[in-house]
Structure 1
Amino acid sequence: MKKVNIYFNRWFSVAFHYMNLIRNNEDEIPFTIFATHPDILHMSLQGADFAETEPKLEGIEYVQFCVDFCRRNEIDIFIPRLHMLDIALHAHLFDAIGTKLIVCRNVDLLETIMDKGKFYESVKEKGIMTIPDYHVVSTAEQFKAAYEDLVARGHQVCFKPTDSEGGLGFRIIDNNRSPLQDLFGHVTSMISFEDAYRILSSEPSFPELMVMELLEGFEYSIDCLADEAGNLLAAVPRRKAGGRLRLMEHNVELKEIAAKVAETYKIPYNFNVQMKYNGSIPKLLEVNPRMSGGLHISCLSGINFPYLAVKSALGGEVQPVDFTVDVLASHVEKPLIMKSNGESAVPDTVN
């Protein structure tokens, strides 16, 4: 059986797990995995068979690098993360060389999802789930007005950039902190309103921030699998259960939300819906149109999300699948030798 060539561009370290989940698939399909990253020793590359240093490019120049890489290495499936929007915009270039993209090709939808403010407006209009109280601001005075409005509604307040990934730029406003204790304590996401306002006032305007109510209930990531047309095939709600513990549980309410997101937006392949409860009400944090950072944990439910997306992209039949029992899981670090006696243990360099 001919090996299928898969390419990951710059990903998070957890791509190491995605690669191995694809490689160790239930159908015993052989794969050769290629990966690029600016840092050739990055952990995401350690799951690849072949690795190459990725240049720091933008826009069409970066897309052309990816096209050339796919052509040179006869890539069958490309799973992008970095510059996903640019790659989707130029999907026809990959079609022309026979490389299948695991990406949302609806560029307008992708742009909306990747801007939290725009996506919240879309969700509000469609009414498919509850969103937090929020304001989008780009000046210090707007920030102050938003903060005062949310406090008047009885909320503790947090904020984050509208276009960030993960926890980048996320801050919680806490006016009871001691600057001296902060200086000698752990690095924290807490900041006082006065400090935030002073910093934001240093510029006439700044990139958009979403100022919103702080949700203090359970936080869930709903890992989802859809076919190429966006029809939902699987959804696993994964809850933070203290420390490193994660609970995959049959939360009917959240699985129904995942079904509504899939039906409304038709996001193909892997996507993730992040929700957090305020009392008994789950509210939207964000939707990621890609594999989530904790997807490998959700795969412990028995559903191989990365491989099933690849199988679907290759034209294989993937039936709707569910997990049978709730699963409590965690993780530990795995030591890897990167170099021994001068011998490198990193993947082979692409010729």
Structure 2
Amino acid sequence: MAWVFVTDAQQRKAVPIVRSLGRHGIQVVAGDSTRWSMAFFSKYCTHWVIYPSPTETPDLFIGWLIDHLKHNTYDALFPIDEKTLDPVTQHLKELCKYTAVPVVDHSTYMKARDKGQTIRIALENDIPCPKTYFVSDVEEVRALAERIDFPVVIKPRQSQGSRGIVYVQSRSKLYPEYCRIHERYPFPLIQEFIPPGGEALGVEALLNKDSEPRAAFVHRRLREYPVSGGPSTLRESVHAPDLIEMGLRLLKALNWYGVAMVEFKVDPRDNTPKLMEINPKFWGSIQLSIVSGIDFPYLLYCVATEGDVTPIFDYQVGVRCRWLLGDFLHFLSNPNRFRLQPSFFQFWGDNLHDDILSRDDPGPVLGMFVSYLAQAFGRKLWRDLWR
């Protein structure tokens, strides 16, 4: 009987990952640092465990994880988010003594997380990017402001979602805004602003240990929250072989192993897809690729345990998947909410799926609400209520 340990069970993407593995007969143990984690409530979660916070106490987390793997037999470990990937990749050799861990080494992982390094590697491999300015001294920004076109985007080298991203409309605002972001995210990038009107697309891929592509998939964003830029709330599978080629070219240049998503945005001025960033882990919209025919979690398990898998690049196009709660927030904050295409009120359809909602496995929805209640009331009060 096969066993896999999946971390970050509170993350929305943990639910389809746990379901995927469980539906293939794999016993899944899910872990997180909070008891009220969505994936714990899935019927495909065989057991759940609470571990020390990987962000607040990374040394305690790694010590706990090594001890847990020593005393329990797993076929693979899936660290699925930055919180756990950071310490796991740093201690990869030690962890691989006890189970298969299908991720890259820490140096490669950090190259993919650092947007500056990603852009440099992309340019070396003829992959289109927004015009980017690399700053090594904050005072350089004063002179830079006099010779570049506006608006521009200040973008942290490492951050999640839209955190730390600032749009600057005028020369006088660039230096103070840059200094403000620099205090929290040292030496952020300055990039040209790609105007609205072009599609946002993601190339999702799996590569084996020899950095050979074994699966690839493309989606386009239809809606996101926040409306100005953030996680997708509705997205659709599309056919884009040229984009897949560019995404795989970049990942192979990094000698990638495992899963990742390469994000592009089409510049409406020249209709060219330009690189935004690499998401060096499982992505939030993983459910879409699964229901479209490419089961990345199970394929990753096969690569980790068997060494390789038969390549799969065919999938159904026109499939849509939504994160209902996020889409509701988009609806509330979008002034054109009643003119959205497709309509927010389209809840059913043969090719419409949801990240979390499932008649087969309704538990994670309950887990989601319990989790939000726990956060709303605060940890201490919640513990007092359940003594």
Bin the TM-score by the shorter chain.
0.7 to 0.9
DSSP 3-state at the match of 1:292: coil
Aligned position for 1:266: 255
The TM-score with structure 1 as length reference comes to 0.78
Q: 1:149 to 1:276 in 2, by over 3 A?
A: farther
Q: Trace 1:287-306 onto structure 2 (pairs within 5 A).
A: 287-306=278-297
Residue 224 of structure 1, aligned match among 177, 202, 205 = 205
Residues paired across the two proteins, number: 313
Instruction: Decide whether the 8 Å contact of 1:128 with 1:260 is kept in 2.
Output: no
Gaps of 5+ in 1: 176-191, 341-351
Q: 1:325 to 1:51 in 2, by over 3 A?
A: closer
Q: 1:88 to 1:140 in 2, by over 3 A?
A: closer
User: Alpha-carbon deviation of 1:232?
Assistant: 0.4
Residues 1:236 and 2:210 aligned together: no
Instruction: Decide whether the 8 Å contact of 1:245 with 1:328 is kept in 2.
Output: no
Q: CA RMSD in A?
A: 3.0
When you count helix as a share of all residues, which structure comes out higher? Answer: 2
Q: 1:258 to 1:85 in 2, by over 3 A?
A: same
Aligned position for 2:28: 33
User: Alpha-carbon deviation of 1:296?
Assistant: 1.5
Aligned position for 1:91: 92
Amino acid of the structure 1 residue aligned with 2:208: D
Aligned position for 1:310: 301
Aligned position for 1:50: 47
DSSP 3-state at the match of 1:158: strand
The farther-off stretch of 289-298 and 199-208 is 199-208
Instruction: Decide whether the 8 Å contact of 1:16 with 1:46 is kept in 2.
Output: no
Give percent identity, aligned residues only: 19
Aligned position for 2:103: 103
Instruction: Decide whether the 8 Å contact of 1:34 with 1:50 is kept in 2.
Output: yes
Residues 1:256 and 2:253 aligned together: no
User: Alpha-carbon deviation of 1:128?
Assistant: 3.5
DSSP 3-state at the match of 2:73: coil
Aligned position for 2:191: 212
User: Alpha-carbon deviation of 1:173?
Assistant: 2.4
> What do the CA deviations read for 1:121-178 (whole angstroms, capped 9, x no partner)?
2222x22301211223476544444444432xxx521122111122222222246xxx
Instruction: Decide whether the 8 Å contact of 1:139 with 1:201 is kept in 2.
Output: no
Q: 1:133 to 1:49 in 2, by over 3 A?
A: same
Residues 1:62 and 2:41 aligned together: no
Q: Distance in 1 between matches of 2:2 and 2:116?
A: 42
Aligned position for 2:227: none
User: Alpha-carbon deviation of 1:193?
Assistant: 6.2
Instruction: Decide whether the 8 Å contact of 1:162 with 1:209 is kept in 2.
Output: yes
Aligned position for 2:148: 150
Residue 157 of structure 2, aligned match among 145, 152, 162 = 162
DSSP 3-state at the match of 2:248: helix
Q: Distance in 2 between matches of 1:229 and 1:311?
A: 15
Q: 1:202 to 1:173 in 2, by over 3 A?
A: closer
User: Alpha-carbon deviation of 1:284?
Assistant: 0.8
Residues 1:275 and 2:264 aligned together: yes
DSSP 3-state at the match of 1:50: strand
Amino acid of the structure 2 residue aligned with 1:286: E
Gaps of 5+ in 2: 225-232, 326-356, 370-387
Q: Distance in 2 between matches of 1:42 and 1:200?
A: 37
Aligned position for 1:185: none
Aligned position for 1:189: none
Q: 1:268 to 1:196 in 2, by over 3 A?
A: same
The TM-score with structure 2 as length reference comes to 0.72
Amino acid of the structure 1 residue aligned with 2:129: I
Q: Distance in 1 between matches of 2:69 and 2:209?
A: 21
Q: 1:337 to 1:108 in 2, by over 3 A?
A: closer
DSSP 3-state at the match of 1:283: strand
